[in-house]
Structure 1
């Protein structure tokens, strides 16, 4: 696991952009795994400023809230359109359908789609306060595939700032499983923001344990962790 520290969030974001562009620029039909949340916002902003031609890039997002329509202001489809796709078109963009009638079937469909169009060449991740990656909360099996998850109260509290009230935050999500994430050829983990120091220290110093999902990244052969000064 390669750790790259920067003092400024903007520097970290630009460094990730440089890494991503350098890596996928060598591929004819790259498949890129994308994350949402506050940490990667600067990454997407830097991509928009660079204006790369990503018409040959296929993307898969990690997750989506259950019960939230694609045009909801806080859906991850809306997030991606706002921060990336509206200015940087891609060949195809895939996000789980949180309104599917049969959520289990939707999980299977999404997993099959990744298998057909993947494997994912490069996966972007953020680090949750409790160590979650994607929406894989503590206790999630390292062998998990795309599945429905009950969101931890700490996760809902952390995301309440986007919804205005914790009562409005969905209680479930569809997320890529940990095994699915680990099958990406390269992984970039971005760590920044208030309260992430404890999670980062546990990642670097703790044991590999399903109670801290991000710890599984120590088992991957190609992980780069970009860290801006955590508060």
Structure 2
């Protein structure tokens, strides 16, 4: 585990984008292409702003994303497909994009996505950490046992409140009850994991991640077992962890 602390979310995003781009270049040199996973949400704004400015062979990159609400149309402001297209995929000449689709035949959509993601390893995964310490939509207590790539989950109340707090929905009742999420197992298969976690609202989740051993009640603790995980914080999100944790 490596921890980097920046003064601002923008500096955090820029530093993470440089690392992600370097890892992608190495994958393209080695394999002729790179396969990446991207997360969404307000915490990722700084990363995307910097990432799309990186000089990369975008046409050699295949993108997967983490999660999507069940039965939410892409036209909705909270749709993660909409988010990724507007902030990333439509702005660069991306090779391929594989989106999580929560509409229509969800089981068939999951099966098709699973087939694609399992064809080859993921080189770089951008994995945020939620206010309730979730990774993707694996809310506590997360399923650490399944070997599926994606699954349908029920969203907990803390997760729903976060979505309202970030401005994606007007009320908790407006947040869909279910989502499709990449599983913890599938996330951990990535060769490199980078987590961008700015803002004061994430400080307790970071503290819980650092203070606890691996437990499904704090899903983000699983990331600490990965051989190549880098955690990017700003001063506010790092404000509740102690000096010993910063040197870990």
Tell me the TM-score normalised to structure 2 length. Answer: 0.88
SS of 2:81's equivalent in the other structure is: helix
5+ residue gaps, structure 1? none
Q: 2:92 aligns with which of 88, 92, 103?
A: 88
May I ask how many residue pairs the two structures share in their alignment? 229
Q: 1:129 aligns with which of 128, 131, 137?
A: 131
Partner of 1:220: 226
SS of 1:40's equivalent in the other structure is: helix
Output aligned runs, 1:5-154, within 5 Å. 5-26=5-26, 27=28, 28-50=32-54, 52-101=56-105, 103-116=106-119, 118-144=120-146, 145=148, 146-154=150-158
5+ residue gaps, structure 2? 238-248
Q: 2:197 aligns with which of 182, 187, 191?
A: 191
Judge conservation of contact 1:53–1:88 (CA < 8 Å) in 2: no
Which of 2-11 and 159-168 deviates more? 159-168
SS of 1:111's equivalent in the other structure is: helix
Distance 2:175 2:93 in 1: 29
Distance 1:49 1:187 in 2: 20
* 1:114-144 residue CA offsets vs partner (Å, 9 max, x unmatched): 002x311110011111110000011122133
Structure 1 position 163, deviation (Å): 1.9
Partner of 2:207: 201
Distance 2:140 2:112 in 1: 25
Distance 1:4 1:194 in 2: 16
Partner of 1:2: 2
Question: In the alignment, does 2:132 pair up with 1:159?
Answer: no
Judge conservation of contact 2:77–2:168 (CA < 8 Å) in 1: no
Structure 1 position 51, deviation (Å): 5.6
